[in-house]
């Protein structure tokens, strides 16, 4: 089923669901729009290996593309330690767990509102 990606919040939820489907860790959605004027939301998550980081990034890209959203820019796919998918109104950060612990970007955006996201509520039926 195609979900509207006309609003950035919908895109953020699709990205979080896609990351969850690939067992991403510590998925966080931050509404950063009121703090910065360059994007509305960050989705931040992590994987334990470079392969998992790449798999998560591929799934996020695929799910958003299936819902009509194409990234403006993609970075970090070769190293797969910190992959960034920039959709202009949404930026998805997929970290290797070591990089996430080091950079702790959530701390930089501590004033941002966190969007409620429960991974289990987005799981596929029968899971």
How do residues 75-113 score in pLDDT, each as one tens digit?
999 999 999 999 999 999 999 999 999 999 999 999 999
Contact 62, 111 (CB under 8 A): no
The domains of the chain, with CATH numbers, are: 47-88 (3.30.460.10)
E strand segments, the chain: 25-31, 41-47, 73-75, 82-86, 90-96, 113-114
CA distances from 38 to 41, 42, 73, 86, 91 (A): 10, 11, 14, 11, 10
Q: Please say if the pLDDT value at position 121 is more than 70.
A: no
Contact 81, 53 (CB under 8 A): yes
Q: Please say if the pLDDT value at position 52 is more than 50.
A: yes
The average pLDDT across 4-20 equals 89
Q: Tokens in use for 123? A: 């799981």
pTM of the model: 0.88
pLDDT of amino acid 126: 37
The average pLDDT across 23-41 equals 95
């Amino acid at each position: 089923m195609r979900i509207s990606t006309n609003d950035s919040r919908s895109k953020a939820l699709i990205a979080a669901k896609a990351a969850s489907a690939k067992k991403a860790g510590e998925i966080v959605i931050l509404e950063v729009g009121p703090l910065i004027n360059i994007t509305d939301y960050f989705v931040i998550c992590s994987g334990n290996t470079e392969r998992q980081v790449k798999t998560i990034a591929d799934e996020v890209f695929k799910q958003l593309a299936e819902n009509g959203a194409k990234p403006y820019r993609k970075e970090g796919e070769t190293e797969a330690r910190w992959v960034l998918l920039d959709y202009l109104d949404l930026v998805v950060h997929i970290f290797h767990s070591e990089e996430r612990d080091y950079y702790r970007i959530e701390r930089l955006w501590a004033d941002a509102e966190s969007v409620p996201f429960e991974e289990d509520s987005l799981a596929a039926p029968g899971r």
